[in-house]
Amino acid sequence: MKKTLILSIFIILSCSKNKEIDISLLNGYWEIQTVTKNNKLLKTYPYSGIIDFFETDGKTGIRKKVSPKLNGKFTVSLHQIDFTVIKAGEKTYIEYIDSNNIKFKETIEKLDSLNLYISNKDNYKYHYKLYEQIIIDE
Identify whether the C-beta of residue 118 lies closer than 8 Å to the C-beta of residue 85.
no
CATH for 22-130 (2.40.128.280, 2.160.20.10, 3.40.50.620, 1.20.1250.20): 2.40.128.280
What pLDDT, in 10s, does the model give residues 45-92? 988 889 999 999 999 999 999 999 888 889 998 889 999 999 999 999
> Would you place residue 112 in the very low, low, confident or very high pLDDT band (cuts 50, 70, 90)?
very high
What pLDDT, in 10s, does the model give residues 26-56? 999 999 999 999 999 999 998 888 999 999 9
In this prediction the pTM is: 0.81
Distance between CA 63 and CA 125 in Å, rounded?
A: 18
Distance between CA 64 and CA 80 in Å, rounded?
A: 5
Half-sphere exposure (Cβ direction) of 88: Cα atoms closer than 13 Å: 10
What residues does 125 pair with on adjacent strands?
36, 119
Does the structure show a pLDDT above 50 at 14? no
The set of long-range contacts for 59-66, using a CB threshold of 8 Å and a minimum separation of 24, is 59/84, 59/85, 60/84, 60/85, 61/26, 61/85, 63/94, 63/96, 66/29
- Percent of the chain at pLDDT exceeding 90: 67
Residue 58 per-residue DSSP state: S
